[in-house]
Amino acid sequence: MSLDWIYYAISWILLTWHSAWDAIGVPVGAVIGTNWAWILAIVFLVVTVRVILFPVFVKQIKSQRAMQALQPKVKELQEKHKGDRETLQKEMMELYRKEKANPLMGCLPMFLQIPVFLGLFHVLRRLDPAKDNKTLYGWTVDQFNSASSAKIFTAPIAGKFGSTAEELARLGANGTTVKVIAGILVLIMMGTTYLTSRQMILKTGWAEDPQQKMIQRLMLYGIPLSLLVSGAIFPIGVIIYWVTNNMFTLGQQQWVLRKYPPPPTPGRTGTPASRGPVQPAKKIGGLLGRKAAPTPVKQAPSAPKVAGPKPGAKPVNPKKGGPAKRQG
């Protein structure tokens, strides 16, 4: 299946925003070593995509709320089918189907942005002055040449941390500068990716469902760590897109979580309901931490002891309390 339609769409959005900033008067030439019109075009590519995907983001929040509301039932199933993983998975899938909840909905916005990411990656990778066909995907020669020479703090947006000396020479870039700028942006990309997942988990808590919890751990730790390696092959323009997208996500999630706070779930880790009542600290009496003398406990008065019969004596019948009658 050809992905040309994605490349044409990404190119059209980039070129439209670049033309808009150029018309407004944003400098096309480098200011502080940066071509701001192209940087803003990438930033507003993020804004355009996020506006289009906003209804999907709302569905994601609703799905997360539904999943959170089902946590007590999920916990019951885990207790009921403890040790039988296969039956547990079947019962949970049936529960999700019945309640119309989808555990994978939380990842849907990210999955839908993958084509955009790949499209931008492909378009920026083509910004090589040595390319013969510069008018591909609706670009003019002037637009291609302008974008291929666009820089952020003197590092070309088409350059990457792993660029070869030949690639850097064609872009007219300094290898050390490219590595420093790309390295800083990769670290920012990793940090903001971690924060977007952490922000949501802190508000909604860890899932009880093992499958959902595994997805949360992957989002929180796995993806940021993978960027440490994959970030070396990303053009700087793609990293700018990713960082901007993360910042947009942080702001959007903060707004949604404030406007629609998650309902309190009893027993969720980190909530007051999951903690026991606070016990007052025991005071230690005496100086220098000596233990206080124990309070004497009053004992109930014991019943008076009744002396038993002496050895060899006849037992006394308590019913015969009166004097014995004389026989005449």
H or E element, residue 152: strand 151-152
Residue 76 phi/psi, 5° resolution?
-60, -45
Cα 225 from chain centre:
14
Whether residue 269 is contained in a domain is answered as: no
**3-state DSSP: the chain helix, strand, coil percent, rounded to 5?**
60, 0, 35
Whether residue 10 is contained in a domain is answered as: yes
CB neighbourhood size of 274 (10 A): 12
Whether residue 287 is contained in a domain is answered as: no
Residue closest to 173 by CA, chosen among 157, 148, 152, 156: 156
Q: 131 pLDDT exceeds 80?
A: yes
Whether residue 46 is contained in a domain is answered as: yes
Helix count and strand count (H, E) for the chain: 12, 2
Whether residue 306 is contained in a domain is answered as: no
Residue 263 has what pLDDT?
62
Residue 310 has what pLDDT?
54
The beta strands (E) that lie in the chain are given as 151-152, 155-156
Mean pLDDT of 38-65: 86
Could you tell me the pLDDT band of residue 139, with boundaries at 50, 70 and 90?
Answer: very high
Please give the residue range of the domain that contains residue 234: 4-258
H or E element, residue 305: none
Whether residue 221 is contained in a domain is answered as: yes
Percent of the chain with pLDDT over 90: 38
Report d(CA 235, CA 173) in Å as an integer.
Answer: 13
Tell me how many domains the chain contains.
Answer: 1
Report d(CA 66, CA 102) in Å as an integer.
Answer: 9
Tokens matching residue 236: 């700087």
| pLDDT tens figures, 149-161 | 999 999 999 999 9
